[in-house]
């Protein structure tokens, strides 16, 4: 167990939209923060995005120039896996069980003190499955941020079958120190938000596939109904590929229930390299 008052250093793995946002809020909360990506140029790009996020926050008077400078002083980037020794390690990599499991196994070998807490930003994979091959599985906790992490307040704190209550509470407190509004949840495919929210995407995609309405109309109608962002704009922001991987994960875990069926149109976009805003084209062109 690692009490909240003993956490000094946080490592975040993956410098995509989620990883860089998590690293930003960790550094803003006062923690020495390491942002890792296997590709050095991706880590550099992630740091530049954080710098831009902080510049915008300063312009909007949400933080001071001193807070921006102090946040950046606490941030380090690396592509050296051996640097990933920390009190809390948060993975934010591709939504695949095998890939995440192999990463956690390697991290456990590198951090063998039994007290390092491993958090997964998975949005659909059960924490129990991720923990089953890890020594001391009581230290595996779900810490699911929402996109973009530096703006969205909600964090789901997920306890697997082996997760200790003490470690879950530490992660809950950590989320609060990051300025978030955490919610405790038990382990289940999609947890709370994605299990409900996935219907926002899958039903919209079915309407598109059936030719009932085009992308722009569906988004406009949903926004006019009170949603802050239409489903296709949201998918493009999340990443067409990332969103599809979550759908596939839920589809498998719910034994091919029709409501979670992945969209062939979405698959075609991914196959074409149209991944949303990050590639300048998805359901929309940017």
User: 15, 53, 121, 123: which is the annotated catalytic residue?
Assistant: 123
Verify whether residue 194 is a known catalytic residue.
Answer: yes
Verify whether residue 5 is a known catalytic residue.
Answer: no
Do the beta carbons of residue 282 and residue 236 sit within 8 Å?
Answer: yes
157: β partners: 143, 184
Q: Please, what sign has the CA dihedral across residues 248, 250, 252, 258?
A: negative
What DSSP string runs through 75-144?
EEEE--GGG---SEEEE---S-HHHHHHHHHHHHHH--SS-PEEEE--SSS-HHHHHTTSSSGGGEEEEE
User: 53, 101, 120, 194: which is the annotated catalytic residue?
Assistant: 194
Do the beta carbons of residue 20 and residue 49 sit within 8 Å?
Answer: yes
- Give the whole-angstrom CA distance, residue 199 versus residue 190: 11
Q: Which among 24, 160, 31, 41 is positioned nearest to 92, based on CA atoms?
A: 24
User: 156, 167, 201, 204: which is the annotated catalytic residue?
Assistant: 156
User: 91, 101, 111, 144: which is the annotated catalytic residue?
Assistant: 144
Residues tagged active-site: 123, 144, 156, 194
């Amino acid at each position: 167990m690692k009490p909240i008052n003993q956490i000094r250093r946080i490592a975040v793995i993956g410098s995509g939209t989620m990883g860089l946002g998590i690293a930003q809020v960790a550094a803003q909360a006062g923690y020495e923060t390491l942002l890792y990506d296997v590709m050095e140029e991706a880590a550099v790009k992630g740091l530049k995005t954080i710098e831009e996020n902080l510049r915008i926050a300063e312009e909007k008077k949400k933080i001071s120039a001193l807070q921006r400078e102090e946040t950046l002083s606490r941030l380090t980037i690396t592509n050296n896996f051996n640097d990933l020794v920390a009190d809390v390690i948060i993975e934010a990599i591709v939504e695949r069980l095998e890939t995440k499991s192999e990463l956690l196994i390697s991290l456990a070998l590198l951090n063998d003190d039994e007290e390092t807490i491993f958090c997964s930003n998975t949005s659909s994979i059960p924490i129990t499955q991720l923990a089953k091959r890890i020594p001391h599985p009581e230290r595996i906790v779900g810490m699911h941020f929402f996109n973009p992490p530096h703006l969205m307040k909600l964090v789901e704190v997920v306890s697997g079958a082996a997760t200790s209550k003490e470690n879950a509470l530490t992660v809950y407190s950590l989320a609060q120190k990051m300025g978030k509004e955490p919610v405790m949840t038990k382990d289940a495919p999609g947890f709370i938000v994605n299990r409900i929210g996935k219907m926002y995407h899958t039903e919209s995609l079915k309407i598109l596939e059936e030719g009932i309405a085009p992308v722009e109309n569906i988004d406009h109608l949903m926004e006019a109904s009170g949603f802050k962002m239409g489903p296709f704009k949201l998918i493009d922001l999340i990443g067409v590929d990332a969103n599809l991987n979550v759908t596939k994960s839920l589809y498998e875990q719910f034994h091919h229930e029709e409501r979670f069926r992945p969209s062939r149109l979405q698959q075609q976009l991914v196959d074409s390299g149209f991944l949303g805003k990050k590639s300048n084209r998805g359901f929309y062109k940017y």
